[in-house]
Amino acid sequence: MDGLRERKRADSRARVVDVAFGLFAERGYDEVTVAEVCTAAGIAPRTFFRYFPTKDDVLTEPARVLADRVQAELAATPARVSDTAALHAALLVVGAELVADDQRAAGLFRVLRQAPAARAHPLMRLGDRERVVAAALVDRTGGTVDWRVRLTVARSTAAFRVWLDDLVDGAVEGDPMAHLREVLDAS
Q: Least separation, in Å, of the C-beta of 55 and DNA?
A: 3
User: Using CB under 7 A as the criterion, which residues of the chain lie in contact with DNA when the complex forms?
Assistant: 3-6, 8-9, 12, 32-35, 42-47, 49-51, 53-56
Q: Which residues contact 72 (CB under 8 A, 6 or more apart)?
A: none
Please tell me whether residue 148 binds its own copies under the rule CB under 8 A: yes
How many Å apart are CA 86 and CA 95, to the nearest integer?
A: 14
- Judged by beta carbon, residue 19 or residue 159, the one nearer its own copies is 159
Using a 10 angstrom Cβ sphere, with 0-12 exposed, 13-18 middle and 19 or more buried, the burial of residue 142 is exposed
Quick count: other Cβ atoms within 10 Å of Cβ 156?
24
Please tell me whether residue 142 binds its own copies under the rule CB under 8 A: no
The one among 21, 98, 163, 168 contacting its own copies by CB under 8 A: 163
- Judged by beta carbon, residue 104 or residue 131, the one nearer its own copies is 131
How many Å apart are CA 149 and CA 135, to the nearest integer?
A: 9
The residue type at 108: L
Are the beta carbons of 160 and 93 closer than 8 angstroms? no
Please tell me whether residue 155 binds its own copies under the rule CB under 8 A: yes
Catalog residues that contact its own copies under the rule CB under 8 A.
53-54, 118, 127, 147-148, 150-151, 154-155, 157-159, 161-163, 165-166, 183, 186-187
